[in-house]
Amino acid sequence: MEYSKIILGKGKEFSLQRKHPWVFSGAISKKDNNLADGDIVEVYSQQNQFLGMGYFSNGGSISVRIISFEKTIIDEDFWFKKINKAWQYRLHLGILNERTNVCRLFFGEGDGVPGLILDYYDGHVVLQAHSWGVYMQKDNIVAAVKKILGTSLKSMYDKSAETLNKHHAEKTKNGFIVGELDSEIIVKENDHLFKIDFINGQKTGFFIDQRDNRKLLGDYSKGKNVLNTFCYTGGFSVYAAAAGAAMVHSVDSSQSAIDLCNKNIELNTVKNNESYAIDTFEFLKDKQNIYDVIVLDPPAFAKSRDSKHNAVIGYKRLNALAIKLIKPNGIIFTYSCSGVVDKYLFYNTITAAAIEAGRNVKVLHYMIQPADHPVTPYFAEGEYLKGMVLWVE
Interacting residues toward ligand SAH by CB under 6 A: 202, 207, 210, 230-233, 235-236, 251-254, 257, 279-280, 297-299
**For 31, how many CA atoms within 13 A lie in the half-sphere containing its CB?**
23
Integer angstrom CA distances of residue 359 from 38, 87, 188, 332, 341: 53, 45, 39, 13, 24
Q: Whole-number minimum distance, CB 12 to ligand SAH, in Å?
A: 38
Residue 52 or 218 with smaller CB distance to ligand SAH: 218
Q: Whole-number minimum distance, CB 148 to ligand SAH, in Å?
A: 27
Q: Which long-range contacts (CB under 8 A, 24 or more apart) does 200-204 make?
A: 200/256, 201/233, 201/260, 202/232, 202/257, 203/128, 204/117, 204/119, 204/126, 204/128, 204/159
Residue 69 or 120 with smaller CB distance to ligand SAH: 120
Residue 210 or 349 with smaller CB distance to ligand SAH: 210
Choice among 103, 231, 261, 337 that is catalytic: 337
Q: Whole-number minimum distance, CB 84 to ligand SAH, in Å?
A: 29
Pairing state between β 22-24 and 124-129: unpaired
- Is residue 337 annotated as a catalytic residue, yes or no? yes
Residue 8 or 251 with smaller CB distance to ligand SAH: 251
Whether 66 and 16 have beta carbons less than 8 Å apart is answered as yes
Over the Cα atoms of the chain, what is R_g?
22
- Please give the backbone phi and psi of residue 89, each rounded to the nearest 5 degrees, phi first: -60, -45
Provide the CA 203 distance to its chain's centre, in angstroms. 9
Residue 199 or 380 with smaller CB distance to ligand SAH: 199
Burial 212-240 (b: 16+ CB within 10 A, else e): ebbebbbebbeebbbbbbbbbbbbbbbbb
Q: Whole-number minimum distance, CB 305 to ligand SAH, in Å?
A: 21
Q: Whole-number minimum distance, CB 124 to ligand SAH, in Å?
A: 18
Integer angstrom CA distances of residue 346 from 136, 208, 349, 366: 36, 21, 5, 11
Q: Whole-number minimum distance, CB 349 to ligand SAH, in Å?
A: 18
Whole-angstrom distance, CA of residue 371 vs CA of residue 392: 29
Instruction: Kindly state the DSSP code that residue 113 receives in the 8-state scheme.
Output: -
Residue 259 or 383 with smaller CB distance to ligand SAH: 259
Q: Which residues form the catalytic set?
A: 337
